Structure 1
Amino acid sequence: MKKLFLFFLLIKALQMQAQTPKSILLFSEKKTDYVISISASGSPYEKTAMEIIQHYFNSVSGISLQDGGGKFTIQLKEVGDRLSPESFTIKNKGNNILMEGNKKGLVYGAYSLVEEIFGCRNFAPGEKPYCPALLRLEIPLPLKIGEKPAFRFREVYSMAETDREYMDWHKLHNLEDLWGIWGHSFGRLVPESLFKTHPEYFAFYNGERHSTQLCLSNEDVFEISVKNLDEAFKENPDAKYWSVSPNDNSGFCECPLCSSSNLKDGGNQGSLLKFVNRIAKHFPDRTFTTLAYNATARPPLVTRPEKNVIIFLSNVEIARTFPVDKEASAKAFRRNLEGWSAKTHRIFIWDYYTQFTNFLAPFPNYFTFQPNFKYYQHKKAAGVFAQLNGPEYGDFAELKTYLLSKLLWNPTLDSDQLTEDFLIGYYGDAAPFVKSYMNKLYGFAVAAGTNLDIYGNPVNNYRDFLTPENLDELSIIMDRAHEAVETQAVFSKRIEKLRLSMDYTYLQQAKFYGTRKHGIFTKNGGNWEIRDGFADRVNRFVQQAELFGIKELSEGGISPKEYGEQWQMIFTTGVRDNLALNSEVQFEFPFAPEFPANGVKTLTDGTPGYSDFSFNWLCFYGKPMIATIDLGKMTEIKEVEINFLEDIRHRILRPQNVKLEYSLDGEKYTAAGLDQLSPPEEEYTVKKIKKLFKNLNFEARYLRVTAENQPALPEFIFSKNREPMLACDEIWVN
């Protein structure tokens, strides 16, 4: 009897297996048995998800997916907190498909269905998604897709933020949707305008009050902050986060009460976190973020964040060549993350993925994305703000935005496969060459020991991974990429856009080389001329940059049009006569090694500096510039011109005074002129300060120029640990 029962069970199981479909046919030859349905009440998320699926179903099949009357159903259901936040599932029940999601998770699920089942791709913000035209779509069973985010906050600050569908497709957040007050917020909490009447609200150091930061132990500062926050809550009641964070400068308060807090907690993070905690306790139903950045990056020794406080930890100081878990310069950041993690798991990471000073500069950091996010996930970080170049275009912007977006949602995805998928879909037949270019560029950086610096410059990389020889090799690869797609307009334009990085690097480095090989000018029969084809190359770069909609070449920087105008000035000025050209120079105090320019030859190489201090300028921290020039023989001197840079934002200031002396023998010097300069003002336009000693009438072999640095940084850019910097590009003698 028992054997007979088992026999019937086996027969039943085989019958059920035979009835279970191995796949479902979603459509074939412009016919479908499927309809789509949502609940009777139809939540906003259900309606949006339905519209998404209907639109892309039509794109791939050429037919409409109706909301009733079919044989089988794609059912969409918002299930609230039955699933974790933003998560979703997609599964089959026989031939029916059920998609469930927690609020916005249902929208994310719709886009995952469109991508993973329909085969569509959204490669780049502002561009139309790609969808294949299919005659038939069969889905293997069982259908089981279930996803939830690796991080609860995910933002890629890039061109993505100009395209709402791209952000939803790739499951990204936007700070403007989440924060009522974002970033450096002390100025919002207690306006700087109160400084004149209430200096006691602000930081005390060097014996007096300054408006750089707040005095966090002042009771009125707390009360004013609470009042202003309460008003902000009413204006934006749906905001999820509120930032209570220092201003973006140093100059923290050192009054006795603030100093006592800082002493107990090992730094400025002490008084800051106590202040943030107090506000968090006052508003227990609100969530606050605070920046652990520069002077507040280290975890406090004693104080712990309240449960409604999130620590926003920055790694602004590290190089980007290697992942953060291996990068040598990230040691302090790793230690800070470990320390904060011991106190709270409510940590967001503020990470950086572009070169802010040169958006178009080659910056091959794409192989660090996945290991970085895996590391943050392992350390239980709750969110990541991955900062690219905002709405502006930068090097490999489309690929970087795509990879960062995908991996922020799920760091375990196959990064190589994601890259391959993108390159083939976005660059077509040029994909193998673009991949070769990527690998070669990163290989050059690693082999040369390059520290990829978010505030670097491709000019200074002429010494390591962007040598003329390497640029030539990379250019050949890009030529082949273009040849592979030159008859395909869409792909061809994308390669031209990608190549702007090489063109920009070539032009920038030419400013450094000047009259030397690879420079702007060449000598022809005793006259300096612009190299053949160079002006055309500048014009072509400007035209293409404008054609591709590029507005800024750096953070807060100039436009392509202004860049072209700068080049026209360079061409018009040409090469100046200079009796000191190629003369030997000696310095009493060394120049800053991180800005070596052309070394000791910089001041007499005939190549002027431009608005960017990081090349063609010799810089001196705190100390005066005392430069002695050996003209090689007795020379009649009528005029001496010295140019200095003033870039207030980067704390580069005009000198206090400039003194000119001359000598016949290099031992005994005679004064030829002394000029006292006016103090620097709070004006952030980068400009040259020219000091001209004219109507001179002496003969000398040696000239000595002494430029005294400012004694201290002015109040408006004060930094306790920074000294004024002086920058000089050339000494012109006639």
Structure 2
Amino acid sequence: MKKIFQHWTGYTLTLALVLATSLHFKPPASGGIELVSNGKSEYTIVVAPDASPQVQRAAGLLQRYVEKISGCRLPVANQPATRNKAIFIREVDGLKYDGYRINTLPAGNLSIEGGKSRGCIYGAIQILDKYLGCRLYSPRYKVIPSSKGLHLPTLSESDSSVNSLRIVFTLNEFSRDEDLLDWTRTTNRFPPFADNYYVHTFTHRLLPPDSFYKTHPEYYALIGGQRVPDQLCMSNPDVVRETIKQLRKDIPLQPDRLYWSVSQADGPLYCQCPDCQKTITEEKSVSGPIIRFVNQVAKEFPDKIISTLAYYYSIVPPAVTKPLDNVQIMYCGGDLAAWGRISKHIYVWDYVVDYFHYQCPYPSLFMAQPEVQSQVSKGANEFFIQGNIDYGMEFAELRLYLYSRIAWNPNVDVSATIDEFLKAYYGDAAPYIRKYIDRITDAYEKTKSKKPLIINTPPSYYQDTYLTPELLKEYNALFDQAEQAVKGQDVFAEHVHFARMPLNFAEMEIAKHNMYGPTGWWDKTGTVRNKKMDALFDDFYTTLKKEGITDINENSYHLDDYKKHTLFTTSNEAAVGNLAWHKKVMTDSPLLVRMHRFYTADLSMLTDGARGDAATRNLFWLVWPYKEFNVTVDLGKVKKISTADLGAEWGSGTTIPPASVECFVSTKENKDFTSIGRQEWHYDQQKTGDSDWRYVYNFKTDTKARYVRFHIIRHDRALSGRKKGMPAQTLLDEIEIR
């Protein structure tokens, strides 16, 4: 202990003397310091013997990257060597959040001071990035200069963020690259959140149905008269006790983690038992039972921050109960100012991503800044910007570069930041990429009142706004120029071509929506295939495969599955020989238009000759909210038929085929129907075949008919899994009559 104390005392005295004399220090006329000269250095990186992990990391980064640039490895020690110069790195009080100070000291020494979180790291990186030219743009593209001499100007600068927590959501290679995350001044979720405790923990982590539902169904939400294992009953004191019990087991396993989520499962349903309903009435909000519940948990763990959601049904703050000081509100919508008036910790979840279609052109680059600025003005200072940054996401590298800088400084010059990145990442193609970004953004801004960006929507949704055929032609012309500008420049050419893939994706998906015609996969007869679409697909698949892309949406939807589904959906088998192709469809239960995943109520989707797949269900599947209904197709005239097929999606959770379908035929208009068979679907049936996402009700006959009617009865509730007991939904696709 004595030796350590002496080392610490020596470090403190040395730095104190240097700082004191710096008040009278005048830099040499030449200015600055020679950090490395001819591959050698007089400098030692000096840290305290008991330096914190962030100080040690800052020293390690500086040492490692200076060596990468110059070949010179600066020693790290607790005191400067005799007659050597020093770079002092230390934590200090008084710097906000991750703030830092960098100052040149007497005799050419250097001081890097940081706040108690990551300020020292960011100070070291500021020197490496701004002054030594080390630039990290992605896990695979890092610019490290090479020079045997490194000069630093006289430095006196500081910086800090208005936001204490800044997480730009990264995945896979991006999330594993600690240097890249530090360069962009953002972090992963884990830490600061505990592993497996980020969000939706009620039934995923705290009270999993597999462990409790069978013996204690009363722990779970009462919905429609049944206990549903997807959500918890907030008013049950045993649920509180079990939650605290589980946290007492888990917190000691991760003692350094500050944030622990106690939050509702995903989805719109909540407990409707009398006690929960009473609290909802008293609090004038469904969030009331949640905040009361979470407060009881947070009281038991005063040194931790217990995080919960303001999401779906819980976005309105309670009227009576305030969150405890160690409760974090993870805000996902609603009145932020109202939450800010009652909550100490507001963590904003900003959505700037298309979950289901990573490759969809999604002009949201300019949306994040005004959102963050507004949210900061209302009291938020913790941010999660969900960009799903990963290879395969449109402009992933640019989004990380931009969003992280907005999170650090909400008033950053967005346009200049974009230009800075484009020049570094796309070289001579940068002006054309910028023109593309500006053009698609302008097209969206002019039409957003008609169709704003909505998470989960496919390119075809925007085919009459910012993805019209005319605009796609303009966009592709700009990329033609961009690719020509970097022809023969391997790295930049690869970057540009990969950035073009969202346009391929948009054209292919829009063509699926217009399968038979000039912009589709087939001509209007359904017999001549559009070779351009196959070329776009081959380019798309080959390019993403070469880049090692596996997932192309948030639900781990694989590129190879996309290939399988695309080949299935773009087959003409549902058109050629199908007597129902392009025939009129009628129903006694009209559909409502949905502006989200299933946005169409167009009955012609059932006879458009395009079978639904597991990825583009919002293109081809119609969702039916009714328990019992009829769907009738008019063949136009009496025809001989041998089979009648109706497809239904066989997904997971609540998306299951109907309980039964009965098929009727008639030669007369809307009367005298005769049954040709009835089929049932049971949850224990096995999936078979290549299209295992789709169940087909197949009826064989030998008769004549003009009208073919399907009488459909759906299951009331999901029959298995975590969604067991929740209302089931029926999704139908192609009717095929032969």
The TM-score by the shorter chain falls in which range?
Answer: 0.7 to 0.9
Which residue of 1 is the match for residue 499 of structure 2? Answer: 498
Cα distance in 2 between the residues matched to 1:17 and 1:47: 28
Note if 1:295 corresponds to 2:313: yes
- Could you say which residue in structure 1 is the equivalent of 2:579? 579
Partner of 2:199: 183
The letter for the 2-side match of 1:45 is Q
- Alignment TM-score, normalising by the size of structure 2: 0.86
Say whether residues 1:50 and 2:50 are aligned partners: no
Map 1:62-461 → 2, pairs under 5 A: 63=72, 65=74, 73-94=85-106, 95-103=108-116, 104-124=118-138, 126-133=139-146, 141=154, 143-159=155-171, 160-180=174-194, 181-187=197-203, 188-192=205-209, 193-315=211-333, 333=334, 335=335, 337-389=336-388, 391=390, 393-449=392-448, 450-461=451-462
Q: 1:258 to 1:705 in 2, by over 3 A?
A: closer
Mapped pair 1:619 → 2:636: no
User: Displacement of 1:62 after TM fit?
Assistant: 5.8
- The aligned amino acid for 1:100 is E
Residue 586 of structure 2 aligns to a residue whose secondary structure is strand
Range with bigger deviation, 544-553 or 193-202: 193-202
Name the residue aligned to 1:327. Answer: none
Counterpart residue type for residue 699 of structure 2: F
Query: In 2, distance between residues paired with 1:185 and 1:169?
Result: 31
Distance in 2 (alpha carbons) for counterparts of 1:733 and 1:118: 70
Quote the offset at 1:163 in angstroms: 0.6
One-letter code aligned to 2:368: F
Does residue 701 in structure 1 map to residue 714 in structure 2?
Answer: no
Q: Does 1:655 align with 2:671?
A: no
Map of 1:11 onto structure 2: none
TM-score by length of 1: 0.87
Q: Name the stretch that deviates more: 672-681 or 279-288.
A: 672-681
Structure 1 Cα separation of the partners of residues 124 and 372 of structure 2: 25
> How much does 1:615 deviate?
0.6
Cα distance in 1 for residues equivalent to 2:300 and 2:456: 39
SS in 1 for 2:136: coil
The answer to which of 341-350 and 405-414 deviates more is 405-414
- Does the 8 Å contact 2:55/2:121 carry over to 1? yes
Partner residue of 2:20?
none
- SS at 2:492 equivalent: helix
CA 1:36–1:410: 2 relative to 1, 3 Å: farther
| Secondary structure of residue in 2 paired with 1:610 | coil
Say if 1:412 and 1:199 are closer, same or farther in 2 by CA, change over 3 A: same
Q: CA deviation at 1:342?
A: 0.8
More divergent stretch after superposition (556-565 vs 396-405): 556-565
Q: How far 1:273 sits from its partner (Å)? A: 0.9
Q: Which has the higher mean CA deviation after the structures are superposed, 482-491 or 277-286? A: 277-286
Q: CA 1:135–1:676 in structure 2 vs 1: closer, same or farther (change >3 Å)?
A: same
8 Å contact kept, 1:250–1:719: no
Residue pair 1:643, 1:728 contacting (<8 A) in 2 also? yes
Per the alignment, do residues 702 and 429 of structure 1 end up closer, same or farther by CA in structure 2, a change over 3 Å counting?
Answer: same
| Aligned counterparts of 1:724 and 1:145: Cα–Cα separation in 2 | 60
Deviates more, 1:629-638 or 1:594-603: 594-603
Are the aligned partners of 2:46 and 2:87 in contact in 1 as well (CA < 8 Å)? yes
Q: Which moved more, 1:248-257 or 1:496-505?
A: 248-257
Amino acid aligned to 2:641: I
**1:91/1:456 CA distance change after superposition, 3 Å:** same
Q: Which moved more, 1:583-592 or 1:607-616?
A: 583-592
What per-residue deviation string (whole Å, max 9, x for no partner) do you get for residues 341-367 of structure 1?
A: 110231101222211111111111010
SS of 1:614's equivalent in the other structure is helix
Contact 1:213-1:250 within 8 A present in 2 as well: no
Output the CA distance in 2 between the equivalents of 1:300 and 1:279. Answer: 17
| Partner of residue 465, structure 1 | 466
| Letter aligned with residue 593 of structure 1 | V
Provide the residue aligned with 2:636 in structure 1: 632
Whether the 8 Å contact between 2:39 and 2:149 is mirrored in structure 1 is no
Q: Is the 8 A contact 2:606 2:733 kept in 1?
A: yes
SS of equivalent to 2:590: coil
Q: Distance in 2 between matches of 1:144 and 1:88?
A: 11
- Aligned equivalents of 1:625, 1:688: Cα separation in 2: 20
CA distance in 2, matches of 1:87, 1:266: 41
Paired residue type of 1:616: F
Give distance in 2, aligned partners of 1:682 and 1:265: 45
> How many correspondences in the alignment?
693
Cα distance in 2 for partners of 1:527, 1:211 equals 47
Superposed CA offset, 1:516-574 (max 9, x none): 22222237xx8813323543442332221111111111122432222223344456664
Match of 2:17 in 1: none
C-alpha separation between the residues in 2 aligned to 1:667 and 1:433? 59
- Bigger mean CA deviation after superposition, 560-569 or 495-504: 560-569
Alignment match, 1:666: 669
Give the Å deviation of 1:495. Answer: 1.1
Say if 1:644 and 1:726, in contact at 8 Å, map to a contact too.
yes
Q: Identity across aligned pairs (percent)?
A: 27
- List per-residue Cα deviations over 1:665-715 (Å, max 9, x = no partner): 4143322334242345699997222122212312x3333333334445658
| Distance in 1 between residues matched to 2:559 and 2:41, nearest whole Å | 54
* Alpha-carbon distance in 2 for matches of 1:151, 1:465: 34
Contact 1:644 1:727 (C-alpha < 8 Å) held by counterparts: yes
Q: Could you tell which deviates more after superposition, 478-487 or 27-36?
A: 27-36
| Counterpart in the other structure of 1:35 | 43
The equivalent of 1:678 in structure 2 is 681
Amino acid at match of 1:428: G
Does 2:609 align with 1:593? no
Deviations 1:64-115 (A, max 9, x none): 5566669784522313434334221012235432211134311111011111
SS in 2 for 1:695: strand
- The yes-or-no answer on 1:606 pairing with 2:614 is no
Query: 1:50 & 1:667 partners in 2: Cα distance?
Result: 81
Q: Check conservation: 1:622, 1:723, Cα contact below 8 A.
A: no
**1:320 maps to what in 2?**
none
CA contact (8 A) 1:662 1:670 kept: yes
Deviation, 1:140, is 5.1
Structure 2 distance, partners of 1:289, 1:164, is 25
Query: Residue in 2 aligned with 1:23?
Result: 31
Query: 1:324: which partner in 2?
Result: none
Per-residue CA deviation, residues 311-368 of structure 1 (Å, 9 max, x unaligned), is 11114xxxxxxxxxxxxxxxxx2x2x11111102311012222111111111110101
Which amino acid counterpart does residue 79 of structure 1 have in structure 2? E
Alignment of 1:514-593 (within 5 A): 514-522=515-523, 528-570=527-569, 574=573, 575-593=575-593
1:431 shift after superposition: 0.4
CA distance in 1, matches of 2:282, 2:501: 52
Q: 1:576 to 1:64 in 2, by over 3 A?
A: same
Task: Look up the SS of the partner of 1:490 in the other structure.
Answer: helix
Amino acid at match of 1:146: S
Structure 2 runs not aligned, ≥5 long:
1-23
Contact 1:288–1:310 at 8 Å: present in 2 too?
yes
Equivalent residue letter for 1:343: I
| Preserved CA contact (<8 Å) 2:646 2:736 | yes
Quote the Cα distance in structure 2 between the aligned partners of 1:148 and 1:236. Answer: 28
SS in 2 for 1:576: coil
